[in-house]
Amino acid sequence: MVLLGIILLLLGAGLGAAAFLGVRDETGTVQLEALGFSRDSQPLELVGIGIGAMLLFALGWALVAASARRRARVRRDEREASRIAEIERSAESDRLEQERRFEEASLRDEDLRRRESNLDTWAQELDAREREVARLEEAYREKVNPSVADVVAGRAEGSVTEGTAHWSHTTPRERADTDPRTTTDRTDGDPTT
């Protein structure tokens, strides 16, 4: 593009020099008529008018080219700005989604902590109730002698009719849990002996 511009400049300068050399010795006048005007001019004056016209044409061409470049730059800047805005919107959307996920995770953590706290409270309440039930059973045993049903159920040992019945220190369930002869097979849950 630069090479073509240099060639055109040299060509224009050569043609201008040839026109000047061709009309410099002319002494006659030339009558010009255009757009209703008429004028007698020297040939050298015609060359100057031609040079002026070419300069105006070149200046107009330069202004049109500069305007086209400016419009292209503005369009490129607008495309880049819209692309940057789209990237920023996407980044903001991703950031908001990440914040939402963190908030959901935080709420789940809070819910799990609350449930764990509730379970701990319930476990403590159950332990307290079991201790109270055990205390009440012990108080009951101290006041009441075992019956035949207590002996049959395994809560008491001895004979009620002979008067040797006494309360057992462990319940049948506690004895089954601590009896080494009865174990639970962990694969199917059936007790084996």
- Distance separating alpha carbons of residues 7 and 148, to the nearest angstrom: 130
What is the percentage of the chain residues whose pLDDT exceeds 70? Answer: 74
At 155, phi and psi to the nearest 5? -80, -15
Would you call 45 exposed, middle or buried from its count of C-beta atoms within 10 A (0-12, 13-18, 19+)?
middle
Higher pLDDT, 66 or 190: 66
Q: pLDDT tens, 17-75?
A: 666 666 666 667 767 677 777 777 777 777 777 778 788 778 787 888 888 888 999 99
Question: Do residues 155 and 168 touch, judged by C-beta distance below 8 A?
Answer: yes
Structure tokens of 143?
């006041």
What is the percentage of the chain residues whose pLDDT exceeds 90? Answer: 32
Question: Do residues 160 and 148 touch, judged by C-beta distance below 8 A?
Answer: yes
pLDDT band (50, 70, 90) for residue 110 = very high
